[in-house]
Amino acid sequence: MTLLDSIGQILEFSKDSGLSKTFFEAAKDHLNFVSNELQITPIQAALFVHIFNESVAGNQYMGDHLFIESLKCTKVQYLEYLNDIDELVNINYVTQIIQHDISPSYRIPREIIFALRKGKVIKPESYINISIGKLFSVLKKTFLRRYNDALVYDEFMALLSFLLDNNQHLEFVKVIKGYNLILADAALLLYFCHKHVASPYSYIDNTVINFDSIRKEFGNEDDPIFADMQFIDPLRNGNHRLQELGLVENANNNGYAMGDVFCLTDKAVDMLLKEIIVKKPGNNQNMILCNDIPEKTLYYNADQNDKVQKLIDLLLPLNFKGVEKRLKEKGMRNGFACLFSGLPGTGKTETVYQIARKTGRDILQVDISEIKSKWVGESEKQIKKIFTDYKKQLESVDTAPILLFNEADAIIGQRMNFNGNSHAVDQMENTIQNIILQELEDLSGILIATTNLTKNMDKAFERRFLYKIEFEKPELEAKKSIWHSMIPELSENDAALLAIRFDFSGGQIENIARKRTVDEILTGSAPSIEQLLAYCRDEVVVTDTVQRIGFAA
């Protein structure tokens, strides 16, 4: 016996008797089979079968008149069945459609029909009282199904309405409900929020919505111009309800509004997305978890080693909280901004990673190239957003993560002085720097910036960094230790020879070790000291004539 067989038999038994006592006795075995397979009650199984029959017969939605006719019942009896129908809706076996003042109509979702045709059972997920993360996961799936034409318009809108009606415990839903929007406008707002949350750390290119997207998502199959009349014309004219509420605005390019491209306003993000944008560590694509950082032994010169060890001691959670508390009591700023400067390959970034691992702190890493977006005006928004998101991280975790600005040369250089003539890009650079300076002044938590150049750093930045560590090329003993750690097979004399002959950084020594390993794999034998010396000579491509960088002692 298959589910379709039993569904057919149930329909046959109810053909003349409706859902009478005689029907339930005659169809008992088939009703029990369907109810057990779908984990619903026998009466719910009978109702499901009738809705299923109308759904596959071309009558997409089964309203009260069809129900009364199919079940051969009175209106009063039909009302008695509504609680069971509601339960089928709640568990997503049935979709409810409500249009204006018309009484609800029902249908079986397409994926349920397709599964039953193949003899399979789909147990739908419950979408009632779900978490904010689950809600946005369902929204993502729903909009994807709509985009791929797997949901007709009415069913699509009914699902969005169901999500809002049954998840009012969420602050996000409460805020949307508070605007008293019609369903179409609420659905469009959900779409904007979904697009924004899908890439919360992406920039304007990935979060804007154009008219083609709106037509694709909200076009009504029964009314070709519905999307234009309901959504696009009001947006184009600037009088859409979401615009009037200050929730949606035109995106901009070089300071000019783009008439056919829209995005959420900062106000909308602050009002609506507090729950979802506050990412827990590990959910953020830019977050590096401390437990995922491999242990690595680093070798420093004596003075540099003391400074790194003191910083590790400070950032141990227990010590850090105590210091923060004392600074607050004295009315002092309690944020810690640190600057790691030095030539490439001297271990600045790796030191940040190892400090994070040893102190149990995750790292929120900032991509400087993404901040300096091609959209003038957007870069300033994004730098503010980075600090706003970091503050929210501090509120959501016990141990403050490290905000890492890696290779920050491009944003902490000398600010420009304008004499009446300036380019938009130059003004943007200064605006970004002014924002960062203010954020450093008000900083809570821990920020570490790394830079290859400090000579051109703006003096205003220098005083904002409480701890400054210059990473020099390793001295002789440190270089010997690095050679040994990278190539343990080296003898003491060979390690000393290489350390004396070549003034390499740790990164350069690692390059030699990698090249040696590759050749050993290819040839099957370890390269000789003469070959290592050749690798070293090849590593020196440019003679270093740049004067020494960093802060004066």
Question: Which DSSP symbol is given to 446?
Answer: E
Other beta carbons within 10 Å of 546 = 10
CA angle 359, 341, 310 (to 5 degrees): 35
Other beta carbons within 10 Å of 399 = 15
Tell me, what's the pLDDT at 233? 93
Sequence ranges of the domains in the chain: 3-117, 132-276, 287-471, 476-539
**Dihedrals phi, psi of 504, to nearest 5 degrees:** -95, 155
Match domain 3-117 to its CATH number in 1.10.10.10, 2.40.37.10, 2.60.40.10, 3.40.50.2000. 1.10.10.10
Residue type, 302: A
Ranges in the chain, pLDDT < 50: 200-206, 278-284, 374, 542-553
Tell me, what's the pLDDT at 461? 81
**Dihedrals phi, psi of 19, to nearest 5 degrees:** -105, 45
Q: What angle in degrees, to the nearest 10, is found between the helix axes of 3-17 and 28-38?
A: 130
Tell me, what's the pLDDT at 447? 93
Question: According to the CATH classification, is domain 287-471 in 3.20.20.70?
Answer: no
Beta bridge partners, 111, equal none
**Residues 166, 164: Cα–Cα separation, whole Å:** 6
Pairs from 165-173 (Cβ < 8 Å, separation ≥ 24) = 166/90, 166/127, 166/128, 166/129, 167/127, 167/128, 167/129, 167/130, 167/135, 169/129, 170/132, 170/135, 170/275, 171/274, 171/275, 172/132, 172/135, 172/272, 172/273, 172/274, 172/275, 172/276, 173/135
**Dihedrals phi, psi of 248, to nearest 5 degrees:** -130, 140
Question: Which DSSP symbol is given to 526?
Answer: P
Q: What angle in degrees, to the nearest 10, is found between the helix axes of 42-56 and 75-90?
A: 90
The CA-atom distances, in angstroms, between 272 and each of 49, 186, 190, 239, 394 are: 40, 12, 10, 21, 19
Tell me, what's the pLDDT at 485? 81
Task: Show the 3-state SS of 386-423.
Answer: HHHHHHHHHHHCCCCCEEEECCHHHHCECCCCCCCCCC
pLDDT digits (tens, 9 = 90+) for 83-121: 888 888 888 788 877 665 567 788 888 778 887 887 777
**Residues 403, 392: Cα–Cα separation, whole Å:** 12
Tell me, what's the pLDDT at 237? 92
| pTM given for the model | 0.47
Residues in the chain: 553
Beta bridge partners, 449, equal 339, 405
